[in-house]
Chains A and B, each alone.
Chain A
Amino acid sequence: MSLKKSLLLGGSLFAAAVVAGPVMAKTLVYCSEGSPEGFTPSLYTAGTTFDASARQIYNKLVEFKPGTTEIVPALAESWEVSDDGKEYTFHLRKGVKFHTTKWFTPTRDFNADDVIFSFDRQDNKDNPYHNVSGGTYEYFNAMDMPDLIDSIEKVDDYTVKFKLTRPEAPMIANLAMGFASIQSAEYADAMLNSKETFDQKPVGTGPFQLVAYQKDALIRYKANPDYWRGKAPLDNLVFAITPDASVRYQKLAAGECHVMAYPNPADLEAMSKDPNITLLQQEGLNVGYLAYNTQQAPFDNPKVRKALNMAINKQAILDAVFQGVGQVAKNPIPPTMWSYNNEVVDDPYDPEAAKAALEAEGVTDLEMKIWAMPVQRPYNPNARRMAELLQADFAKVGVDVEIVTYEWGEYLKRSADEKRDGAVLLGWTGDNGDPDNFLAVLLSCDAVGGSNRAQWCNDEFNDLVEKAKQVSDVDERTRLYEEAQVVFKREAPWATIAHSLVSEPISVRVENYKIDPLGGHYFYGVDLK
Chain B
Amino acid sequence: MLRLIFKKLGLLVPTFIGVTLTSFFFIRLLPGDPILLLAGERGVSPERYNELMVQFGYDKPVWEQYLSYLGNLFQGDLGVSIVTKQPVLQEFMTLFPATVELSICAIIFAVVVGLPAGIIAAVKRGKTLDHTVMTTALVGYSMPIFWWGLLLIIFFSGILGWTPVSGRISLLYWIEPVTGFMLIDTLLSDEPGAFASAVSHLILPTIVLGTIPLAVIARQTRSAMLEVLDEDYVRTARAKGLSNFRVIGIHALRNALIPVITIIGLQIGVLFAGAILTESIFSWPGIGKWMVDSIFRRDYPVVQGGLLMIAAIVMIVNLIVDLMYGLINPKIRHTE
Q: Which residue of A lies closest to B164 (CB)?
A: A256
Q: Which residue of B lies closest to A5 (CB)?
A: B187
- Complex contact B289–A243 (CB within 8 A): yes
- Complex contact A410–B196 (CB within 8 A): no
| Of B40, B98, B193, most A-chain CB atoms within 10 Å | B193
Using CB atoms and an 8 Å cutoff, list the residues of chain A in contact with chain B: 1, 3, 6-7, 9-11, 13-18, 21-22, 24, 27, 29, 34-35, 37-38, 43, 45-46, 133-136, 138-139, 141-142, 199-200, 211-212, 214-218, 220, 238, 240-244, 246-247, 250-251, 253-254, 256, 406-410, 412-413, 416, 426-428, 441, 449-451
Which one, A1, A7, A138, A244, contacts B283 given CB within 8 A? A244
For residue A6, which residues in chain B have a CB less than 8 angstroms away from its CB?
187-188, 195
For residue B85, which residues in chain A have a CB less than 8 angstroms away from its CB?
37-38, 43, 133-134, 199
- Complex contact A21–B167 (CB within 8 A): no
Which one, B84, B165, B186, B194, contacts A38 given CB within 8 A? B84
- Complex contact B172–A18 (CB within 8 A): no
- 16 further interface pairs, Cβ-Cβ under 8 Å (given A27-B171, A142-B39, A215-B91): A6-B188, A14-B200, A16-B196, A17-B194, A17-B200, A22-B173, A22-B192, A35-B84, A134-B82, A134-B85, A142-B44, A244-B166, A254-B158, A410-B31, A428-B41, A450-B45
Q: Which residue of A lies closest to B41 (CB)?
A: A428
- Complex contact B298–A409 (CB within 8 A): yes
Decide if B256 is an interface residue (CB 8 Å cutoff).
no
Which one, B158, B161, B283, contacts A217 given CB within 8 A? B283
Q: List 5 A-B contacts (CB under 8 A).
A: A22-B172, A215-B285, A241-B283, A250-B166, A451-B43
- Complex contact A212–B174 (CB within 8 A): yes
**A407-B30, A409-B32, A413-B36 as given contacts; A16 in contact with B193, CB under 8 Å:** yes
For residue A256, which residues in chain B have a CB less than 8 angstroms away from its CB?
164-165, 171
- Complex contact B43–A18 (CB within 8 A): no
Decide if B168 is an interface residue (CB 8 Å cutoff).
yes
Interface string of B26-50 (1 = CB under 8 A from A): 0000111110111111111110100
Decide if B190 is an interface residue (CB 8 Å cutoff).
yes
For B, the interface residue count at a CB cutoff of 8 angstroms equals: 72
For residue B46, which residues in chain A have a CB less than 8 angstroms away from its CB?
449
- Complex contact A18–B157 (CB within 8 A): no
For residue A250, which residues in chain B have a CB less than 8 angstroms away from its CB?
153-154, 157-158, 165-166
Decide if B52 is an interface residue (CB 8 Å cutoff).
yes
For residue B82, which residues in chain A have a CB less than 8 angstroms away from its CB?
134
- Complex contact A240–B196 (CB within 8 A): no
Which one, B34, B52, B187, B293, contacts A3 given CB within 8 A? B187
Q: Which residue of B lies closest to A217 (CB)?
A: B285
For residue A241, which residues in chain B have a CB less than 8 angstroms away from its CB?
283, 285
For residue A142, which residues in chain B have a CB less than 8 angstroms away from its CB?
39, 42-44
- Complex contact B196–A409 (CB within 8 A): no
Which one, A13, A27, A216, A428, contacts B95 given CB within 8 A? A216
For residue B95, which residues in chain A have a CB less than 8 angstroms away from its CB?
215-216
For residue B296, which residues in chain A have a CB less than 8 angstroms away from its CB?
408
For residue B40, which residues in chain A have a CB less than 8 angstroms away from its CB?
45-46, 412
For residue B255, which residues in chain A have a CB less than 8 angstroms away from its CB?
none
- Complex contact B280–A217 (CB within 8 A): no
Q: Which residue of A lies closest to B282 (CB)?
A: A247
Decide if B307 is an interface residue (CB 8 Å cutoff).
no
For residue B24, which residues in chain A have a CB less than 8 angstroms away from its CB?
none
Q: Which residue of A lies closest to B197 (CB)?
A: A17
Which one, B45, B157, B192, B293, contacts A254 given CB within 8 A? B157
B208-236 contacts to A (CB < 8 Å): none
For residue B194, which residues in chain A have a CB less than 8 angstroms away from its CB?
10, 17
For residue A247, which residues in chain B have a CB less than 8 angstroms away from its CB?
150, 153, 165-166, 281-283
CA distance A27 to B157 in the complex (A): 21
For residue B282, which residues in chain A have a CB less than 8 angstroms away from its CB?
247
Which one, B41, B153, B170, contacts A17 given CB within 8 A? B170
| Of B42, B286, B296, most A-chain CB atoms within 10 Å | B42
CA distance A6 to B168 in the complex (A): 19
- Complex contact B171–A240 (CB within 8 A): yes
For residue B30, which residues in chain A have a CB less than 8 angstroms away from its CB?
407
Decide if B249 is an interface residue (CB 8 Å cutoff).
no
For residue B196, which residues in chain A have a CB less than 8 angstroms away from its CB?
10-11, 13-18
- Complex contact A134–B94 (CB within 8 A): no
Q: Give the 8 A-B CB pairs with smallest separation, nearest first.
A: A409-B32, A10-B195, A17-B193, A14-B196, A217-B285, A216-B285, A134-B85, A410-B31
Decide if B325 is an interface residue (CB 8 Å cutoff).
no
- Complex contact B164–A244 (CB within 8 A): no
Rounded to whole Å, the gap between the CB of A431 and the closest CB of chain B is 8
Decide if B117 is an interface residue (CB 8 Å cutoff).
no
| Of B168, B188, B192, B282, most A-chain CB atoms within 10 Å | B192
- Complex contact A141–B48 (CB within 8 A): yes
CA distance A3 to B186 in the complex (A): 10
For residue B166, which residues in chain A have a CB less than 8 angstroms away from its CB?
240, 242, 244, 247, 250-251
- Complex contact A45–B38 (CB within 8 A): yes
Which one, B34, B36, B165, contacts A251 given CB within 8 A? B165
Q: Which residue of A lies closest to B91 (CB)?
A: A215
Decide if B162 is an interface residue (CB 8 Å cutoff).
yes
Rounded to whole Å, the gap between the CB of A242 and the closest CB of chain B is 4
Interface string of B182-208 (1 = CB under 8 A from A): 000011101111111101100000000
Which one, B38, B161, B174, B192, contacts A9 given CB within 8 A? B192
Q: Which residue of A lies closest to B172 (CB)?
A: A21
CA distance A251 to B164 in the complex (A): 8
Decide if B272 is an interface residue (CB 8 Å cutoff).
no
Which one, B32, B193, B281, contacts A10 given CB within 8 A? B193
Decide if B177 is an interface residue (CB 8 Å cutoff).
yes
Decide if B55 is an interface residue (CB 8 Å cutoff).
yes
For residue A410, which residues in chain B have a CB less than 8 angstroms away from its CB?
31-33
B130-177 contacts to A (CB < 8 Å): 150, 153-154, 157-158, 161-168, 170-174, 177
Decide if B83 is an interface residue (CB 8 Å cutoff).
yes
For residue A242, which residues in chain B have a CB less than 8 angstroms away from its CB?
166-167, 283
**A218-B167, A256-B164 as given contacts; A243 in contact with B280, CB under 8 Å:** yes
For residue A22, which residues in chain B have a CB less than 8 angstroms away from its CB?
172-173, 191-193
